Structure 1
């Protein structure tokens, strides 16, 4: 890492100085044009293998999660290993097609990542942190917070078109936290009153 990481930065920096108007995402690969054939070929092979292995890892990880966490736990608990393997292969194809469709609506992979991190930060992060740092959080509060963060994020980004060019997380995360607190406190009172009635 001490050799490779600085080398990548130096190559990209050099490419930017040679090709001033180049797209930053192409800066590393563009230098293969001016490199010796052997070194440029190695760089292209390394970039191609990095792209392929990253895509394979993401697809396999997501497909395995769908197979074991959803299909195996909720749909077919008696599924054999052969059946699970078949389902994993099917999910890889389905997820690959969905990824292709999704990327057609975004200008770059970075835009997709930003969108995904915004969804994650707005819908899941407040509930997960509350589990560790607030003892009064309830299940309904966490679920309501997730839905509130997701819906407010989609409303801000898609329906309203990101007003003032403000990232959706600035609006949806505080909204998800407020919903988490309010619903948790409200459902906690109900839980306490029910426990008093039962005793």
Structure 2
């Protein structure tokens, strides 16, 4: 436990709380649009930062480091490549997303496939996003316990409280601006850490490569091709249909800003994923017997980095986790507000009522996520489970809304139901034959979407392209 680390951590958390308090004032958040979309006024640098920080959280800093530590830097390319490849696909649909201006992904699906699709999608989103929030809490608890005298459980509770405060207070205003600050800190810390760890502590890139375990120097890391694909697909699928990404793009000032910010997100993602792969794998040389979840965190906390740089890495990692958790809390609560209360209300909900319901829902999801996190032994396990459920069930029909006019309501509903059921069933069976559930459920979802769509006729007028439907359908 270093005084410098604690000082930096406390100072940074204080800044985050101050930003959240500033944007929680009524002058900034007085309507549902302010709370969800920051008044649709986010400038490009902030939008790039919030896209990056929302995506890069516990799953990358801890789950990605776990993978690199266990399987090596080359195999990590397959695991972490899901992020940039998913962003590329998102780039080509970003204008359509901004133009559609939907509050939620389920609302986008209703405009094409009807109310049943919206309700099923809302349920899937809540299930997955609660899981994602849960492992942000757990990951933050790891960091707190490493640099303070608090236990992991106590740290998890502290992080849960901070995440909930940011989401309840200023909505996307506070989340986006803390995201922006977090992105600057963590990118700086990770990039500076590479030459310090590999150059000074390990002895240079030659020594780094020679000292890696034998399997870690192979492209597969000892995994089969199917196993590598099973790690790649959940990340790739999630980002394609991630409601957070769609809501961030909707918060852009205009369609051009949405697209250029997505390009900025693509390039900046390498400033995180590459250092995570290199540092996570270097940790196995320096600390061969630690918990893989803590690979990068241990480099920062165990004197392998100068105290200030280590403190910035730890503070930035925690900040990423906090803001990612806040983003998913905020987004998941929007499903309850807009796909539930607002959708079925007989009268237009006043802004004050929407804000109140949103904040109460955030609190309820946070409590559920905290309990859920206690049932999964590792961040990586919970990460893959949550990603798979959401990505398999929603990515295919969302892409069909944007790109395939022949998709029908029956095809989309069948895809979502079977994708979810098969994923959960395969996980509950403890992944028979050690086959990742995404390798079973994704083919089932895709075949059902295409097959059922081709066998049924799009007779309902709702079943048109997203551009043909007016934005802001009842919500």
Same fold (TM over 0.5): yes
* Alignment correspondent of 1:138: 408
Corresponding residue number in structure 2 for 1:121 = 391
Q: In 1, are the aligned partners of 2:293 and 2:378 still within 8 Å (CA)?
A: no
Cα 1:41/1:74, change in 2 over 3 Å: same
Q: Decide whether the 8 Å contact of 2:189 with 2:310 is kept in 1.
A: no
Distance 1:99 1:15 in 2: 30
How far apart, CA to CA, are the structure 2 residues paired with 1:9 and 1:102? 35
- Report the CA distance between 1:178 and its aligned residue: 2.5
Quote the residue 1:66 is aligned against: 336
Shift of 1:90: 0.9
Show the 5 A alignment for 1:139-158: 139-158=409-428
In 2: Cα distance, 1:151 partner to 1:122 partner:
10
- The separation in 2 between residues aligned to 1:65 and 1:79, in whole angstroms, is 15
Aligned residues: 190
Residue pair 1:59, 1:92 contacting (<8 A) in 2 also = yes
Counterpart of 1:168 in structure 2 is: 437
**Residues 19 and 91 of structure 1, relative CA distance in 2, 3 Å threshold:** same
Of 286, 294, 297, which aligns to 1:26?
294
TM-score, normalised relative to structure 2: 0.36
Alignment match, 2:105: none
Query: Which piece of structure 1 moves more, 60-69 or 10-19?
Result: 10-19
C-alpha deviation, 1:40, in angstroms? 4.3
Distance (whole Å) between structure 2 residues aligned to residue 131 and residue 39 of structure 1: 45
Pairing of 1:1-199 with structure 2 (within 5 A): 3-9=188-194, 11=197, 12=279, 15-30=283-298, 31-34=300-303, 37-75=307-345, 77-158=347-428, 160-188=429-457, 191=459
Q: Which moved more, 1:37-46 or 1:175-184?
A: 37-46
Shift of the 74–9 alpha-carbon distance from structure 1 to 2, 3 Å rule, reads farther
Residue-by-residue CA offset, 1:147-197 (whole Å, 9 max, x unaligned) = 111112222221x331101112222222222322332233329x59xxxxx
Choose 55-64 or 127-136, whichever is displaced more: 127-136
Looking at both structures, which has the greater relative contact order when contacts are Cα pairs under 8 Å and sequence separation is at least 6? 2
Contact 1:8-1:28 within 8 A present in 2 as well: no
Deviation per CA, 1:81-100: give whole Å up to 9, x if none: 11111111111111112212
Q: CA deviation at 1:22?
A: 1.6
User: Bigger shift: 93-102 or 59-68?
Assistant: 59-68
Q: 1:186 to 1:107 in 2, by over 3 A?
A: same
1:20 aligns to what SS in structure 2? coil
1:133 Cα offset (Å): 4.9
Task: After TM superposition, give the deviation of residue 68 of structure 1 in Å.
Answer: 2.9
- Give the TM-score, by structure 1 length: 0.78
List per-residue Cα deviations over 1:54-106 (Å, max 9, x = no partner).
Answer: 22222122223432343222246422211111111111111112212222222
Report the CA distance between 1:43 and its aligned residue: 4.0
